[in-house]
C-alpha cells in the first residue's frame, strides 16, 4: 500500500497546485491513497469551504485533514458532519465538536485508518493527544493495523514524541502546521514512518505562504498585523509518500517530494 500525503494547502495558489499538478505527481508516485491537509485552503489562508473540499476531492484527493484553523471559516459547521472524507483533529472536545477525527479508507480490500490529531505545545490546550491516541489506536487495531496520522503541531519535540510513543503500533506519523518541509524522513525502530513536517502547498515565494512585508513588519514593530496570502510568484507542492506492508502495518519506505510549478 502506498500513501501520498500533501502538506498544508495554502490559499488559491495551493488549491490550483492540487488541480494542476497532483495528477502529474500521482502518475510519478502511483499511490493507492492520497491525503491532503486543507486547513489553510481558503483565499484568506484560514479554514476550508465546501466548494474547496469538493474541488479537492474531484482533483483526486481521498481524504482531507484539518488543524487549528478548522473552524476559521464558519461555513464548515454547515457541512462537516456530512463530509465523509473530511476530518478534524480528534482531540477537540468530543461531546461538543462537530465532525470526526478519523476515517477509514478501503484500499484493495484492506482498511486504512487516517487519523488527525493536534498538538498542545505553543497551541490551544486541547484534550491530551497522547491519551486519546492510545484509546483510538487500540480500538482501530481490532479492525486494521494500517494506520496513518497527520499530527498538526508546532513543536518538533512533540511531533517526535508522538511518533516514538506510537512506534510499532501505527504505520506513520507525519507532522503538519509549520509549513517548512524537514529533512528527517525515516522509519523508526518499530517500523513506524516519521517526518517532522511535510511542508506546504501554495505560494513558494512568500513566508509560509503569506506576503513577506506584513510578517516582517510584525517582527520590526511588534504590533498586530493582518497577514495576507501571497498571490504572485511561483507555487510549490510538498508532500511525502509512504509504503506500508498491508499485512503487518509496518512502513517499509518514506520519501519526501517537493517541486515548484516551474520544475514539472
CA dihedral 237, 243, 246, 247 (to 10 degrees): -160
Question: Choosing from 69, 152, 177, 250, which is the catalytic residue?
Answer: 69
* 158/162 Cα distance (integer angstroms): 6
Based on its alpha-carbon atoms, the radius of gyration of the chain, rounded to whole angstroms, reads: 17
Burial tier of 60 (Cβ tally within 10 Å: 0-12, 13-18, 19+): middle
Q: Is 152 a catalytic residue?
A: no
Pairing of strands 33-37, 86-87: unpaired
Q: Which three cell numbers stand for residue 20?
A: 494542476
Q: Which of 166, 191, 189 is nearest to 250 (CA)?
A: 191
- The residues that are catalytic are 69
Amino acid at each position: 500500500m502506498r500513501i501520498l500525503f500533501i502538506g498544508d494547502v495554502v490559499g488559491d495558489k495551493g488549491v490550483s497546485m492540487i488541480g494542476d499538478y497532483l495528477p502529474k505527481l500521482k502518475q510519478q508516485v502511483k499511490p493507492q491513497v492520497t491525503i491532503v491537509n486543507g486547513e489553510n485552503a481558503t483565499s484568506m489562508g484560514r479554514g476550508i469551504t465546501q466548494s474547496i473540499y469538493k474541488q479537492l476531492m474531484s482533483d483526486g484527493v481521498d481524504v482531507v485533514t484539518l488543524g487549528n484553523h478548522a473552524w476559521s471559516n464558519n461555513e464548515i459547521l454547515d457541512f462537516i458532519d456530512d463530509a465523509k472524507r473530511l476530518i478534524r483533529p480528534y482531540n477537540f472536545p468530543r461531546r461538543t465538536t462537530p465532525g470526526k477525527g478519523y476515517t477509514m479508507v478501503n484500499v484493495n480490500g484492506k482498511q486504512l485508518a487516517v487519523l488527525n490529531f493536534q498538538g498542545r505545545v505553543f497551541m490551544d490546550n486541547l484534550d491530551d493527544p497522547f491519551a486519546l491516541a492510545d484509546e483510538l489506536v487500540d480500538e482501530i487495531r481490532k479492525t486494521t493495523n494500517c494506520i496513518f496520522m497527520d499530527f498538526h503541531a508546532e513543536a518538533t519535540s512533540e511531533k517526535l514524541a508522538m511518533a516514538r510513543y506510537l512506534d510499532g503500533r501505527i504505520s506513520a506519523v507525519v507532522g503538519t502546521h509549520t509549513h517548512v518541509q524537514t529533512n528527517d524522513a525515516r522509519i523508526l525502530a518499530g517500523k513506524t514512518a516519521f517526518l517532522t513536517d511535510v511542508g506546504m502547498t501554495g505560494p513558494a515565494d512568500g513566508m509560509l505562504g503569506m506576503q513577506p512585508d506584513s510578517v516582517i513588519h510584525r517582527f520590526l514593530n511588534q504590533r498586530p498585523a493582518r497577514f495576507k496570502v501571497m498571490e504572485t510568484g511561483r507555487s510549490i507542492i510538498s508532500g511525502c509518500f509512504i509504503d506500508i506492508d498491508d499485512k503487518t502495518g509496518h512502513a517499509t519506505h518514506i520519501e519526501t517530494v517537493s517541486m515548484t510549478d516551474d520544475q514539472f
